[in-house]
């Protein structure tokens, strides 16, 4: 069974509340780290890019940090990252897009509109949360904090993420306070925005551009 299949098996085919959806995302992230043998920070993007039937490209001028679509001609999920984003942002976007791929078979059922949040907003929020769990696993963050690494810049460098993402994760782990209820809700992409039309890119150039994202 592939890594993607194992992660999808953790996702029930029914509507999920926010708490359950977040718990499942955290379990999926932990399972992926176990399956790929990653035991300490920071998590390399290669654990995603090297999965079967997943290809990663970088393109300039994207309206979003990342987009994903199924490429029928090659039977491949193609993730495209914005070229001018920092490597830490690209790594987070890569993990975010992986969650979209994991959720694809059940996304219309799993995240119905809830309260003031639309279905699309909920899906985007849980993808952010999965990315945070994958790149900044709760036990690792708490271990680093307990060992005395408590400066935001030092923690962000250790985990290979932006300082903003690290701050949100510290709040989520209960290590620093916040008055905000849910840090992972953000504005959803505009409804009906067309997916990027992918053109073939030079594989060597793409790999070179992605080196900071894929490396440990």
Which candidate, 106, 126, 124, 104, places its Cα nearest to that of 17?
A: 126
Average pLDDT of adjacent 10-residue blocks, the chain of 216 residues: 96 96 98 98 96 96 93 95 96 98 96 95 97 98 98 97 96 86 48 37 51 64
Prediction pTM value: 0.86
| 3-132+205-214, CATH topology level | Arc Repressor Mutant, subunit A (1.10.10)
Q: What is the DSSP letter of 117?
A: B
pLDDT of residue 212: 65
Q: Which residues have a Cβ under 8 Å from the Cβ of 12 and sit 6 or more positions away?
A: 24, 106, 110
Spans of all domains in the chain: 3-132+205-214
Q: How far are the Cα atoms of 68, 97, 119, 136, 190 from residue 108, in angstroms, in the given order? A: 16, 16, 8, 27, 17
pLDDT given at position 1: 87
């Amino acid at each position: 069974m592939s890594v993607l299949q194992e992660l999808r098996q953790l996702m029930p085919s029914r509507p999920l509340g926010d708490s359950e959806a977040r718990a499942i995302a955290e379990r999926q992230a932990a399972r992926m780290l176990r399956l790929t043998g990653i035991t300490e920070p920071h998590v390399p993007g290669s654990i995603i890019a090297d999965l079967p039937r997943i290809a990663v490209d970088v393109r300039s001028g994207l309206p979003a940090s990342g987009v994903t679509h199924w490429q029928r001609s090659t039977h491949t999920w193609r993730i495209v990252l914005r070229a001018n984003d920092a490597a830490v942002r690209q790594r987070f976007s890569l993990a975010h897009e992986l969650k979209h791929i994991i959720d694809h078979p059940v996304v219309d059922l799993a995240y119905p509109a809830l309260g003031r949040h639309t279905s699309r907003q909920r899906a985007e929020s849980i993808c952010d949360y999965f990315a945070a769990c994958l790149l900044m696993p709760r036990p690792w963050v708490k271990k680093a904090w307990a060992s005395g690494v408590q400066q935001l810049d030092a923690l962000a460098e250790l985990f290979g993420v932006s300082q903003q993402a690290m701050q949100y994760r510290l709040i989520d782990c209960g290590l620093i306070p916040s008055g905000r209820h849910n840090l992972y809700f953000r504005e959803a992409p505009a409804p009906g925005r067309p997916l990027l039309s992918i053109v073939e890119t030079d594989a060597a150039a793409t790999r070179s551009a992605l080196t900071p994202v894929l490396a440990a």
